[in-house]
Structure 1
Amino acid sequence: MRGILIFLLCACFDIGYAQVADTIHYQLPDYADSIQSTVQKLKKKPILAAAETFGLNMVVWDADYLSGQDFAKINLSTMHNNLKTGFMWDNDNMSTNLFLHPYSGSLSFTSARANGMNFWQSLPFSAGGSLMWECFMENQPPSTNDFLATTFGGAMLGEILYRLSNSVYDDSKTGSARVLSELAGFIFTPMVEFNRIISGEAFRVRHRPQNTIPALPPVHLYLNWGGRFISERSHLFQGSYGLAFGLRTVYGDPFDESNYKPYDWFTFNLELNVGGAQPVLNTANAVGLIWGKHVDMPRNQDAVIGIYQHFNFYDSDPIAVSGSEIKPYQVAETVSFGPGMLYKLNTENNRMQFVIKSFTSLVLLGATYTDHLKLPDREYNMGQGFSINLDANLAMQKIGDFGIKIYNLNLYTWKGYPLNVDYMHQTEEQNNYLNTEGDKGHSNLFIITPTLNLQLSPSLSLMIEQRRFIRIAHYVYYPNMTYATFDSRVTLQYKF
């Protein structure tokens, strides 16, 4: 229903602004966008993009208000109070704060992308949409973590989805093939498809000589399905069983020297669960190149150094069959940037390939499960820190590949809460002003993931993966805690 309302309201904004936007010439900074040359040049329409961002917020607020959400009951007094109070840390659940807010930001970001803006020019639209919502569209204080997640996480997710949608559109197709192409684009980026419909691009057929169409960056898409098991405190047979589904994509070639503009190379992984009283969204990972430089190496070797943006999200619920109230893991790295290096070694006959990826990042917004803070929707600490990510993979033709990933997140929770506050017996409104990152202290998270991928055919493989989670929590006012567990997935993987 929200999606339909968003679509209809944005249509009204587009009808109102399209004529104005098309008659004004905008002088925006020049920027060589690597994928802009693969589609017809888009005229920059910042006013239209801003109108769509405004319309998105208004439609979502309207849906919340009509459904009776208390936070949507706003007036001039609540707006003034929000501006007077300033930004605070909020208490929403982790999936809302650290995944859905980035997705919300991606809608504003891709609206700007669809209206001719490049990556950097689109970033203010996700920031502006977030500021509008946080300051004026709720009767709760503006949220620091929501602004960070919506702005920077939204830009990352938005650019990934925009490029994926750009790879599926084909204006030369007609009939059912064209409908499927437009539908796939809508799934990736609703706002891009909305702009294509309003402008008529979704229905216009173009035939261009093949030699005049620039080559798109390579896109590899993998779907997997099978079973998964989440253990309770590392017990082999005590845990949660369910079905596992996943989507993984690798976009671009990082060792191609022409692919060093923002997000010319990225990887994106999404894992879903069904059954076992576990969250549907279990895992989301992404890493994207912001800036890169090729390093000259001896024969059969390649290396790239650069600056990368990272996103990691792991979520679980307590194991119902064991009666435990502890969540096996909750980890998030939502806003994170830092240096990294990619290295590739090929054998003489290319039958074997060895790839190493290493990254170190400054984490501006992250989260991890806590043993002490227990609010109705929140049992995790937020904070800042750094992460280290190592990934080694050995691939052999017609056999498969073996990989090992080592991930370490060091998260510092600086802003605690007054110990004399009984937040368990406070009202929801009082807890809205608790303004805490969580239990003051430091958490050290390790995720060690060996993966075996056996090739069954050129397109089909059997993938076996086990992740070991280790959490070491040091609290300032509470006893320290250590927790370890694992989860496993056995899936069939199909490569498109």
Structure 2
Amino acid sequence: MQHGLRLAPPLLCDSSREEATVPRPTVPSGSRADGRRGRPVAPLVPAHERWGLAVGTMVVLLLAAAFPAYAHGFPADAPLAEREPAPKAEGVACQEAAPEGEEMAPPRRHVWRALGEVTAANAAIWSVNRFIRKRDWAEVSPETWGRNLTGGFEWDADKFTANQLDHPYHGGIYYNIGRDNGLSYWEAAPLTFLGSLQWEVFGENNPPSANDVINTSIGGLAVGEVLYRLSSMILDNGSTGWERTGREVAAGLLNPGRGFSRVVRGEAWRVGPTPREWTPSHFAGFGRAGYLQEGDAAGGQAGPGRLVVGLGMRHGDPFVDDFRKPFDSFSVDASLILRKGHFLGQADAQGLLAVTSLVQRPRWQVLLGAYQFYDFVDIGTYQVGAQSFSGSLLYRHVLTGTMDVRAALDLRGVALAAISTNPSETNERGYDYGPGVGVTLRAALGSWPWEYFGVELETSWIHTLDGVVKDHLIHEGRLHADIPVFRGLGLGGSLQLFRRDSLISNEKRDPQQTPRFQVFVSWH
């Protein structure tokens, strides 16, 4: 891929903010002015409500794959001559184009209003559970608040999906209230932590949970920013009537925190400009459906075959786009499996936090970046969920036309991971908690965003802080192929192997292996 297309975004004017302009940042020396290389470095719902959030998460995944993307009309390497002129923003608030080469000043930050909205959201959720649903855990009082403030943190025993799926989603609600009030990724992080801490202390009569705060806060950043970007692609501040209503409702279902904030501030019906950054330079969604054969880790036998549906998206390309803010480039992949008691088999998101160019040649590049990862694996008896960050080396070599080879080496620091194990007297959850370190190698041959052949290898060591007295080694390997057949249709398959070695002092390893094989039809 030799050329990158930046689709012309909507004009940026905003009558609700100061309309001062600032010059576009100067392109760094050694980079090309067309933006094709060289990037400046970027300096709960409680566990008891897991089913409601599970349904919400399903809606999120389906909407994310279904709605039309602004930038999907052109591939990443479309010639610059194919760019369409920038559409004018509709509405009375923006009548003239912004001067070429200039951008609007960043939005005002409303920190106290954001904190008030987070508090109101927590109060509303608590009120529903206390007075309508009559939940015992919602019976709080000044006495329970005092005990929670002075009693310290514990590790709760909620189910895996509640802690590793529901809590990050809930954290995304806090996060998006902050983002919609003008806070950046880094500025919204403390607000997400405060929202989680507020709920743990004042929203339940259970002792505050350390794993809940970590999963809600850190997981909420990754899940929340993905939802913020996707809902931005749906919203159009210049639309009116039924179109405006449909967009606001769809974005609110996808991103409840942002939808709540827009209603509170009146933005849901105020006509104005659509910010330039809401339109990504590159975006692609894809899906697959097929047959999955899964091994039985406990019995060593082949399990029943199942229907599997996969959804994925790619937002931004770090090799051809100008990188300015965290998650300007991110990817999401999810697998939905039809089986009793489970619907989400695997989900992962990775967002680029910062990047700089190390080597730039006509046909190949090497970048140094930092990523945030959210991982969720739930395949029967094998469960792993983790919040982690990495330092990464990214490599791209252009072969011919749009065909290229890409590779990445990630050195991860795992803030907190949950790993399934056998329940014991000290751990009724059925999984352990702890931090760790890991390394991941990824390589693929394809044409962005389509990977024709790929391989992923990952190894992590997790030190148990709460659970059975053992540490864990986690290994995951995956080979996959997705061959174009006709236009956007492809045929492919993948082979995965999950292995967990539980380490106990003076004892042999207790390995558990779960192989998976699938064939599928894909559409891009």
Q: Same fold (TM over 0.5)?
A: yes
**What residue identity is the alignment partner of 2:210?**
T
Matched with 1:356 is: 407
Matched with 1:73 is: 139
Is structure 2 residue 367 aligned with structure 1 residue 316?
Answer: no
C-alpha distance after superposition, 1:342-398 (max 9, x if no partner): 111111x32531110210111110011113437896111111111211111011699
Is structure 2 residue 90 aligned with structure 1 residue 61?
Answer: no
Note the residue ranges of structure 1 that are not aligned, 5 or more in a row: 1-20, 24-31, 318-326, 415-436
Listed as ranges, the matches of 1:446-457 within 5 Å are: 446-457=475-486
Aligned 8 A contact 1:439 1:475 in 2: no
Distance 1:83 1:468 in 2: 44
C-alpha distance after superposition, 1:396-417 (max 9, x if no partner): 6999601111121211113xxx
Listed as ranges, the matches of 1:59-458 within 5 Å are: 59-65=124-130, 66-174=132-240, 177-205=243-271, 216-233=280-297, 238-256=302-320, 258-275=322-339, 277-317=340-380, 327=381, 329-334=382-387, 336-347=388-399, 349-373=400-424, 378-395=429-446, 401-414=452-465, 437-458=466-487
C-alpha distance after superposition, 1:88-117 (max 9, x if no partner): 111111111122111111101101111111
**What residue identity is the alignment partner of 2:144?**
T
Note the residue ranges of structure 2 that are not aligned, 5 or more in a row: 1-15, 19-40, 44-101
Q: 1:482 deviation in Å?
A: 1.0
Taking only the aligned residue pairs, the percentage that are identical comes to 27
Cα 1:136–1:368 change in 2 (3 A) is same
Distance 1:60 1:269 in 2: 30
Cα 1:55–1:478 change in 2 (3 A) is farther
**What residue identity is the alignment partner of 1:316?**
I
C-alpha distance after superposition, 1:142-171 (max 9, x if no partner): 111111111111112111110111122233
Aligned 8 A contact 2:298 2:512 in 1: no
Return the TM-score normalized by structure 1. 0.78
C-alpha distance after superposition, 1:182-229 (max 9, x if no partner): 343223312223333444443445579x9x999633111112333323
C-alpha distance after superposition, 1:295-347 (max 9, x if no partner): 22332102211121111110133xxxxxxxxx1x111112x112011111111
Aligned positions, number: 428
Distance 1:400 1:281 in 2: 23
Q: 1:231 deviation in Å?
A: 1.6
Aligned 8 A contact 1:162 1:188 in 2: no
SS in 1 for 2:360: coil
Cα 1:76–1:478 change in 2 (3 A) is farther
Aligned 8 A contact 1:260 1:293 in 2: no
Instruction: Give the aligned CA root-mean-square deviation in angstroms.
Output: 3.2
Aligned 8 A contact 1:260 1:290 in 2: no
Cα 1:377–1:102 change in 2 (3 A) is farther
Q: 1:181 deviation in Å?
A: 3.1
C-alpha distance after superposition, 1:44-69 (max 9, x if no partner): 22222112111221122223223233
Cα 1:357–1:91 change in 2 (3 A) is same
Distance 1:460 1:387 in 2: 35
Aligned 8 A contact 1:226 1:243 in 2: yes
Matched with 1:4 is: none
Q: 1:178 deviation in Å?
A: 4.0
